[in-house]
Amino acid sequence: MKTLKLLVAGLCLLSPALLPSAASAEDFPNRPIRLIVPFPAGGPNDIIARVVSKRLGEILKQTIIVDNRGGQGGVLGTDMVAKATPDGYTIAITSAGALAISPSMEKVAYDTLKDLQPVTMVARVPEMLVVATSVPANNMAELVALAKAQPGKFNFASSGPGSLPHLAGELFKLTAKIDITHVPYRGAAPAVNDLLGQQVQMVFLDLPVLLPQVKAGKLKPIAIGTTQRVASLPDVPTTVEAGMPDLQTENWYGMVAPANTPAPIVAILNKAAIEAMKDPDVIDKLQSQGAIVGGNTPEQFGAYIASETTKWAKVIKEAGVQTEK
């Protein structure tokens, strides 16, 4: 009887250790959260993360430390999260490139779908197709007809090999069945400069990057790669409206945690992030960046990542895309 009592007492002492998820979620968060941004300060990923993290910290009543860890197109910082302790205190707001494109382009140390836990979509930024003012086309039908009439004559710029603007251009070629030449640049700024200088004819880039030049009449907008028009350019049609429903191209940024982060903690982060994204000030600031505010369940975000991975892997394979070595 005495032995039985000792055994029961021992099990009672051990039982909290057997339930780490429930115990750790009870007072989560009780210390600062490290939010990795896998790009340098000042870029779109960083701006979006800082806008959301400020309100997120207020909701969670805890400090959010933004930690910029740029390198390899977002891969290095994202890998840090994949390798972090799965306790909710190291998370990231990272990009489509790091989550859905790079794993198909090159050998990365993590498997997005196995090593990371989706929390929620944070923001989507449409890619916009624009042409130089010298190009005699004002809409999608005219541009496609022009390219088909003169195969190989026209080219499109991108912010670099394997970037989303590059893949968007390749998807355009495949969808429209046209022959245009890729001209890679080291970043969006030099690509836009050469487009303004008529050295290249067209480009897909994040809408905020192109917005000032379009509004100034220095570049002609053709279509925005989303299913809905954007408030900042209400007269510019979507690619769906332009007759190319398969040409949907968006950059997007989402919150992830390490795989095996306890479900109750993921739920806390998800709820707080969605609340933050409903804040009017956050909405205004994100929309001023040309972003469409996100907010969905971990399951929905995970399914979206999987679909985007499949989509861009197919484009990469069919177009024979390779990064610079």
pLDDT band at 208 (very low <50, low <70, confident <90, very high): confident
Q: Are residue 118 and residue 49 in the same domain, yes or no?
A: yes
Residue 162 and residue 309 in one domain: no
pLDDT number for residue 72: 87
Q: Looking at the predicted structure, is the pLDDT value of residue 13 above 60?
A: no
Per-residue pLDDT averaged across 179-186, rounded?
Answer: 94
163-173 pLDDT, tens digit per residue, is 899 999 999 99
Query: Residues 6 or more apart from 3 whose CB is under 8 A from it?
Result: none
Among 205, 224, 243, which residue terminates a domain?
224
C-alpha 133/C-alpha 198 separation (Å) is: 8
296 phi/psi in degrees, rounded to 5: -150, 180
Q: Is residue 144 part of a domain?
A: yes
Note whether 205 and 118 are same-domain residues.
no
Kindly state whether residues 118 and 178 are assigned to the same domain.
no
Q: Which of 17-26, 67-76, 140-149, 280-289 has the highest mean pLDDT?
A: 140-149
Do 209 and 166 share a structural domain? yes
- 74 and 98 both lie in a single domain: yes
Among candidate residues 207, 224, 241, the one where a domain is terminated = 224
Question: Does residue 99 form part of some domain?
Answer: yes
Please tell me which residue, 8 or 51, carries the higher pLDDT value.
51
Q: What is the mean pLDDT of residues 35-56?
A: 93
Residues 131 and 121 in one domain: no
**6 domain-assigned:** no
Average pLDDT estimate for 193-220: 95
Alpha helices in the chain (DSSP H): 2-14, 20-26, 44-60, 75-82, 96, 102-105, 112-115, 140-149, 164-176, 188-196, 207-215, 263-277, 280-288, 298-319
More confident residue, 24 or 278: 278
Helix, strand, coil percentages in the chain from 3-state DSSP, rounded to 5:
45, 20, 35
Q: What is the pTM of this model?
A: 0.85
DSSP 291: P
Average pLDDT over residues 289-293: 87
Q: Please give the Cα distance from 59 to 268 (Å, whole number).
A: 10
> Are 316 and 276 within 8 A, CB to CB?
no
Using the 3D structure, point to which of 206, 224, 242 is the last residue of a domain. Answer: 224
State whether 220 and 150 are in the same domain.
yes
Judge whether 239 lies within some domain: no
- 84 within domain boundaries: yes
Mean pLDDT of the chain: 91
Is residue 13 one of the residues assigned to a domain?
Answer: no
Read off the pLDDT band of 22 (50, 70, 90): very low
Regarding whether 205 and 137 lie in a shared domain, the answer is: yes
Q: Tell me: pLDDT of 14 over 70.
A: no
Q: Check whether residue 297 and residue 284 sit in a common domain.
A: yes
Range of the domain at 77: 31-125+251-319
Strands 155-158 and 202-206, by their bridges, are parallel
Q: Domain count for the chain, please give it.
A: 2
Instruction: Determine the average pLDDT of the residues in 1-18.
Output: 46
Q: Which of 4-8, 72-76, 181-185 has the highest mean pLDDT?
A: 181-185
Q: Name the residue type at position 144.
A: V
CA–CA separation, 237 and 301 (whole Å): 26
Residue 204 forms part of a structural domain: yes
Task: Indicate if the pLDDT at residue 269 is higher than 50.
Answer: yes
Residue 161, Cβ density class (10 Å: 0-12 exposed, 13-18 middle, ≥19 buried)? middle
Q: Are 143 and 137 in contact (CB under 8 A)?
A: yes
Give per-residue pLDDT as tens, 216-234.
Answer: 999 999 999 999 888 889 9
Same domain, residue pair 116 and 143: no
Q: What CATH number is associated with residue 40?
A: 3.40.190.150
Helix (H) or strand (E) holding 226: none
Residue 52 has pLDDT above 60, yes or no: yes
Per-residue confidence (pLDDT) for residue 324, from 0 to 100: 55
Q: Does some domain include residue 242? A: no
CA 299 to the chain's CA centroid: 17
| pLDDT of res. 323 | 63
Whether residue 19 has pLDDT greater than 70:
no
* Residues paired with 250 in a beta bridge: 126
Q: Give the per-residue pLDDT at 6.
A: 46
User: How confident is the model at residue 322, as a pLDDT?
Assistant: 76
Report, as an integer, the average pLDDT of 28-49: 93
**If you compute the radius of gyration of the chain from its CA atoms, what whole number of angstroms results?**
23
Q: What is the pLDDT of residue 287?
A: 87
Q: Output the CA torsion sign for 46, 47, 48, 53.
A: positive
Per-residue pLDDT at 265: 98
Query: Do residue 216 and residue 137 come from a single domain?
Result: yes
Higher pLDDT among residues 187 and 247, named by residue: 247
CATH number of the structural domain spanning residue 139: 3.40.190.10
